[in-house]
Chains A and B, each alone.
Chain A
């Protein structure tokens, strides 16, 4: 199925990190003060090798960034991968097995979990709800968009 494409395929995270590095994207330094952690998506870290971009962006906007353990390439699945977000027939099991992730989040003490993947967004939302974590879940784009310094570049 793999064939050479006439274009590159990149993730939004990469595009934003690149623009940030080049100074095109201006983000307010430490715009957020509440403790926040980042959910590395299996897909980005284990398929795409995309670990650093998220750290760069989060480090800029978040004043109190906390790593999850296990995290990075060792991140636990949000529980919603592999089509699990769509298979209601296995929902009970999915929630039961989100425990490992829930504990990883709880240990960070974060009040916000930023996710950069729609699957993870569902997975983490369900996980937070099921395990009564006192956390909001935000999509990376939304999290960054709010911290954009307007009039910085155009």
Chain B
């Protein structure tokens, strides 16, 4: 088994196992802690308001979309690029198919390119914002840079690989490894908001919905 097989075989397995296993454990721990000492998480739960709140923020139907349109736009482009190309990019789709027999939609390479570049532009925007805006700068910590780097690395190397920049094999290897790092890091870093976004919005959405503030 050469490095290439190792990276596209066991490493990808490991990354997904860590990600899904980690998220399951974290969900279980959250629910247990909530049951033991944060009862309102359950007693206050209102499915309708939780659902509406999640919806209003998955779509730009919220006050922040109006007040901070540029950050909202960047946020959407960033996540769209990451998730769409990550799951549905042609190269990835072929890989899921060969490795795990999964068969789903894929998007053409041209669109992937556009999405990836837009997403990278958003990363750049976020990075600049962290450096330039004093109030964001003051909040920023090392973990925030790590999160940005984790997300940017596979997108950048994926783009470079697809367009034949650099040594193809090395570039591809870095792409796979950084992609695996991103996936594996989700449950253990701030990226856990992939899960907690939903839990948090459910809690707050229920809370504010019940008080008739609405799914703002």
In the complex, A touching B, CB below 8 Å?
yes
Could you give, for residues 179-216 of chain B, a 1 whenever the CB lies within 8 Å of some chain A CB and a 0 otherwise? 00000000000000000000000000000101111101
| Chain B residues touching A, majority SS | loop
Q: Which of A19-56 contact B (CB under 8 A)?
A: 45-51
Say if the beta carbon of B63 comes within 8 Å of chain A.
yes
Q: How far is the CB of B66 from chain A (nearest CB, A)?
A: 11
CB-nearest residue of chain A relative to B40? A2
Q: Is the CB of B63 within 8 A of A74?
A: yes
Q: How far is the CB of A97 from chain B (nearest CB, A)?
A: 15
Interface set of A (CB-CB < 8 Å, partner B): 2, 45-51, 73-74
6 A–B contact pairs at CB < 8 A? A47-B211, A49-B213, A50-B212, A51-B212, A73-B213, A73-B216
Q: How far is the CB of A51 from chain B (nearest CB, A)?
A: 7
Instruction: Give Cα A49–Cα B208 distance, bound, in whole angstroms.
Output: 8
- Given contact pairs A73-B213, A73-B214, A73-B216, A46 touches B208 in the complex (Cβ within 8 A): yes
Interface set of B (CB-CB < 8 Å, partner A): 40, 63, 208, 210-214, 216
Cβ–Cβ < 8 Å partners of A46 in chain B:
208, 211, 213
Cβ–Cβ < 8 Å partners of B208 in chain A:
46
Cβ–Cβ < 8 Å partners of A49 in chain B:
210-213
CB-nearest residue of chain A relative to B44? A2
CB-nearest residue of chain A relative to B209? A49
Q: Is the CB of B211 within 8 A of A48?
A: yes
Q: How far is the CB of B186 from chain A (nearest CB, A)?
A: 33
Cβ–Cβ < 8 Å partners of B210 in chain A:
49
Most buried by A among B40, B63, B212: B212
Instruction: Give Cα A73–Cα B208 distance, bound, in whole angstroms.
Output: 10
Instruction: Give Cα A151–Cα B156 distance, bound, in whole angstroms.
Output: 78
Cβ–Cβ < 8 Å partners of A74 in chain B:
63
Instruction: Give Cα A69–Cα B213 distance, bound, in whole angstroms.
Output: 16
Most buried by A among B40, B210, B211: B211
Cβ–Cβ < 8 Å partners of B63 in chain A:
74
Cβ–Cβ < 8 Å partners of B40 in chain A:
2
Q: How far is the CB of B153 from chain A (nearest CB, A)?
A: 39
Q: How far is the CB of A71 from chain B (nearest CB, A)?
A: 13
Q: Which are the 5 A-B pairs with shortest beta-carbon distances?
A: A49-B212, A49-B211, A73-B213, A46-B213, A47-B211
Cβ–Cβ < 8 Å partners of B213 in chain A:
45-46, 49, 73
Q: How far is the CB of A127 from chain B (nearest CB, A)?
A: 22
Instruction: Give Cα A45–Cα B216 distance, bound, in whole angstroms.
Output: 13
Cβ–Cβ < 8 Å partners of A45 in chain B:
213
CB-nearest residue of chain A relative to B39? A2
Cβ–Cβ < 8 Å partners of A48 in chain B:
211
Cβ–Cβ < 8 Å partners of A50 in chain B:
212
Instruction: Give Cα A74–Cα B66 distance, bound, in whole angstroms.
Output: 13
Most buried by B among A45, A48, A49, A74: A49
Q: How far is the CB of B2 from chain A (nearest CB, A)?
A: 60
